[in-house]
């Protein structure tokens, strides 16, 4: 069981696919939300996720930015499969996650599938909010403070529904 902690991470769009050659691991993810996180009265998102053959229940505070509270607990895989089929609000978000080490930091790169296909986002977890990791050349625009790039938002309004100006920010 994972203890409560504060997640500190930065989120970026990804340029090209050169990073795939550097990936040392990859895994399929399927996740869905058990509450309507778009409701402004909600203080958290509640997510069920299957990562390979393991499942978790995750609760995150609804703060957009560098850090937020996060709680994560292992649950039986069969329970997670049933929840994804019967309890989630909105579509299940599917992606392939890749792990890439660069300059002492582990980057998690999500290549989205289904209704979010075409979107590739990289995240790097940090020890504190002041840490400035060196950025690989495949990292593009930072989107840490843009809600639409968060999985919880992609479950409500998938990438396929975005306009050209949203898909190609300046």
| C-beta of residue 130 within 8 angstroms of C-beta of residue 68 | no
Phi and psi of 129, rounded to 5°?
-70, -15
Q: How far is the C-alpha of 73 from the C-alpha of 78, rounded, in Å?
A: 15
Helix (H, G, I), strand (E, B) or coil at 83: helix
Residues tagged active-site: 33
Phi and psi of 20, rounded to 5°?
-60, -30
Residue 38: which of 122, 154, 169 has the closest Cα? Answer: 154
């Amino acid at each position: 069981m994972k203890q409560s902690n504060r997640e500190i991470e930065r989120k970026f769009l990804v340029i090209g696919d050169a990073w795939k050659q550097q990936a040392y691991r990859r895994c399929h993810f399927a996740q869905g939300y058990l509450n309507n996180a778009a409701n402004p009265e909600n203080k958290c998102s509640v997510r069920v996720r299957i990562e390979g053959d393991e499942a978790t229940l995750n609760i995150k505070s609804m703060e957009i930015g560098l850090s937020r509270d996060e709680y994560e607990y292992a649950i039986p895989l069969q329970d997670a499969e049933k929840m994804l089929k019967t309890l989630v609000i909105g579509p299940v978000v599917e992606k392939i996650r890749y792990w890439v080490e660069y300059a002492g930091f582990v980057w998690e790169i999500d290549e989205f599938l289904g209704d979010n296909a075409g979107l590739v986002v990289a995240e790097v977890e940090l020890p504190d909010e002041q840490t400035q990791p060196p950025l690989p050349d495949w990292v593009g625009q930072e989107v840490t403070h843009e809600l639409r790039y968060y999985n919880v938002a992609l479950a409500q309004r998938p990438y396929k529904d975005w306009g050209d100006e949203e898909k190609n920010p300046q």
